[in-house]
Amino acid sequence: MKKTLVLLLIALLAMGTVFAAGSKEAAAQTGPVTLRLSWWGGDSRHTPTLKAMEAYTAQNPNVRLEGEYGGWDGYYQKIVTQIAGGTAADIIQIDQPWLAELASKGDVFATIDSSMVDLSQFDADFLKNYCTYEGKLLGLPTGTNVNTLIVDPAMLSSFGIDPNTVWTWDNIITEGRKINAQDKTAYFSGATPDILRYWFEIYIAQLAGAVVDNNKKVAFTQAQGTEAFTYFKRWFDEGIVAPFSQTSLFYQKFQENPSWINGKMATSWTWVSSMDKDIGARKMETRQFPVMAGAKNSGVLMRPSQIFVVNNNSKNRSEAIKVLNYLFTDAQALELLGLARGIPSTTVGRSVLAQKGMITTMAEKATNEGIAQAGLPQSVYQMNSEVMQVMQDVIDEFGFGKLTPAEASAKLIKNLEATLASL
């Protein structure tokens, strides 16, 4: 579906029906300005965003802001279709991998510079690594999002595991298997198929540096892939994780698994931005990920929670960028938005929330640990949605027992090479 939609976008861009050549702003509206903002999320994101929008219009009565929001499902497809049809919102929330994926197809997003936004509030490397395409800053990170390992100390203790264990790839198995050995309905990790893909990426990054490198090449060998899959086969064989027949029902929503909710899974990979939602009512703590000796890359991800971009076809690009500057740097807006999109990516944002006591000690600790442990940025090719889907498809087959480790490695390399060649 994604490939079809992107191809549609390419076709329309080629015909010149969506965006004019270059980046000349369309004729601005006269009189009051109406801007549309599009994002995905839940009520915890919708409500504060709408309040921040109301605050902006109170200060700028010549501007009307309209929100277009809903859940994650179908959001990407909607945005691509709207861009292709010339009906996209003026300000659009996108996932970080989509930036290069969409920007590579045409002059889709407006360029942002320091004359428009106080870029000194952002980490320069963070903007360069995650929000820039071909030397142009095309978006702003809504928050700093990092991987973290959440653990249930009480559950670990109840199975004779030291809750303060510094986790390694080896003791995840030697200690983690104690849980399922004592209770066949309980597991060390709440790894759904999508979460296992992240674990696989971390392991491969430590072995080989990356899954896919910046030269659009598969970065790991057949032997390295087999080693990784062999390791994760032990997770299934020794009861570290529940079988996919159970966890696949909760793809991208592991926190809804009754086994997780009811304390039958002791740990999970997650993003700090969704950590509170994932934990729910459980009392948990954060830990750092295992890193093998001689690792080429920790594999731990640090990314923007999301990115706000401005539609290059907007009739009021300048005003739209003013709105972004307000959302990222105004104290009132920052307080209203809170943690709706994770830990703020700006210095002033973190300062405001700290002063208001809105950043929890746990979130601050997890963010600091994640930043300290963060590995190299993934290549734009590894973050490509088609590439990620190839990885997920092979992970799914492997997890359901349809491929041996060697077969999974060979198939993943073959399918990645074919997909990369088509990009």
Cα(323)–Cα(117) distance, integer angstroms: 10
Q: Is residue 143 within a helix (H) or strand (E), and if so which, with residue range?
A: none
**Residues 293 and 414 both lie in one domain:** yes
User: In degrees, to the nearest 5, what angle opens at C-alpha 277 toward C-alphas 274 and 283?
Assistant: 115
The residue ranking higher by pLDDT, 251 or 17, is 251
Instruction: Give the tokens for residue 53.
Output: 């929008």
Q: Are 308 and 341 in contact (CB under 8 A)?
A: no
**Residues 171 and 294 both lie in one domain:** yes
Instruction: Give the tokens for residue 275.
Output: 């950590």
Inform me whether the pLDDT recorded for 1 exceeds 70: no
**Residues 139 and 152 both lie in one domain:** no
The pLDDT-based confidence of 6 (bands split at 50, 70, 90) is low
User: 312-351, pLDDT tens digit by residue?
Assistant: 999 999 999 999 999 999 999 999 999 899 889 898 998 8
What per-residue confidence (pLDDT) applies to 267?
98
On whether residue 212 sits in a domain, the answer given is yes
Cα(42)–Cα(322) distance, integer angstroms: 25
**Residues 239 and 159 both lie in one domain:** yes
pTM metric for this prediction: 0.74
Beta strands in 264-395 (DSSP E): 265-271, 285-287, 302-304, 307-310
On whether residue 155 sits in a domain, the answer given is yes
What per-residue confidence (pLDDT) applies to 360?
81
**Residues 87 and 187 both lie in one domain:** no
What number is the average pLDDT over the span 249-260?
Answer: 94
On whether residue 348 sits in a domain, the answer given is no
Distance of CA 372 to the CA centre of its chain: 18
What per-residue confidence (pLDDT) applies to 364?
82
User: 24-48, pLDDT tens digit by residue?
Assistant: 444 444 568 999 999 999 999 999 9
**Residues 33 and 49 both lie in one domain:** yes
**Residues 38 and 70 both lie in one domain:** yes
On whether residue 369 sits in a domain, the answer given is no
On whether residue 91 sits in a domain, the answer given is yes
What per-residue confidence (pLDDT) applies to 104?
87
Q: Are 232 and 223 in contact (CB under 8 A)?
A: no
What number is the average pLDDT over the span 231-257?
Answer: 96
Cα(378)–Cα(204) distance, integer angstroms: 12
Inform me whether the pLDDT recorded for 222 exceeds 80: yes
Q: Assign residue 306 a region: left if phi > 0, alpha if psi is -120 to 50, beta otherwise?
A: beta
The pLDDT-based confidence of 18 (bands split at 50, 70, 90) is very low
Which CATH number covers residue 252? 3.40.190.10
**Residues 388 and 410 both lie in one domain:** yes
Distance of CA 38 to the CA centre of its chain: 17
Question: What is the domain range of residue 407?
Answer: 146-302+377-422
Count of domains forming the chain: 2
On whether residue 337 sits in a domain, the answer given is no
The residue assigned the tokens 């839940």 is 42
**Residues 165 and 293 both lie in one domain:** yes
**Residues 14 and 42 both lie in one domain:** yes
**Residues 118 and 170 both lie in one domain:** no
